[in-house]
Amino acid sequence: MTQDQKIGLTRCQMIVETVFDATEPTTMGSKLIHMLISVMGVKGATLFVVNPRTETLEILATEGLSIDYVNKGPILVDKSIKLALNLDPVIIHDTEKSDRLQYPEKAVKEDIRSIVSLPINLKGKIIGALRIYHGETWQVSKRELACLSLIARFAGMFLRYFRLSSVVLSLKETVDEIHPIWLYCNWMIPGPIVLFNYSASSRA
């Protein structure tokens, strides 16, 4: 890694090994954002997850940004830093010369000069986004982009893992609630219930 690069393979590996041992998504997100800012020396970072009902990006974890910027308004998936097909990373080298921001005046007020936005997708479906904010113009190298894309992919895998774990836990709790009732009913009714008897003798 050259001196002017903010992240390389060694730092990327350190972030992955440190962050992705969390047991729940909020902790994972907070550790990831804090590590990225500390390691890269950038202004701030945010991890978003998509709300499928509203098609907006909701903040899972953020650091280094003012409350005014964080609460700037709803962040629409198809308008917030317009992504090519919502699947490709977007690099804004200079926010003052870009027309790709949903809230450009807020970025200027926040002293954000460059942004790297990485969609988090699984099998072509957007489930979140990772964004890095810097106070200076930034010519992101291919190696930096590759490392950040790898981190975003790991984040997506873990978000899906947490989601599946939540579903499994919910099913387990449902089964645990139903199981004692089933046992009680099975004890009370040892055999099949005959509601009607249409034998010949009953019709006589």
Cβ pair 70, 44 in contact under 8 A: no
Report CA dihedral (37, 119, 12, 19) to the nearest 10 degrees: 70
Mean pLDDT of all residues in 57-86: 76
For the stretch 105-139, pLDDT in tens is: 999 999 999 999 999 987 778 889 999 999 999 99
Retrieve residue 2's tokens: 């050259």
Provide the CATH topology of domain 9-162: Beta-Lactamase (3.30.450)
> Cα–Cα distance between 139 and 130 in angstroms, integer?
18
Q: Which residues contact 68 (CB under 8 A, 6 or more apart)?
A: 106, 109, 110
Is the pTM of the predicted complex or chain greater than 0.85? no
Query: What local confidence, expressed as pLDDT, does residue 99 receive?
Result: 86
User: Is residue 193 pLDDT above 50, yes or no?
Assistant: no
Q: What is the pLDDT of residues 137-174, one digit of tens each?
A: 999 999 999 999 999 999 988 888 766 665 555 555 56
Angle at 53 between CA 112 and CA 59, to 5 degrees: 30
Q: In what order do the strands lie in the sheet with 90-92?
A: 56-63, 44-51, 125-134, 114-122, 90-92
For the chain, the structural domain boundaries read: 9-162
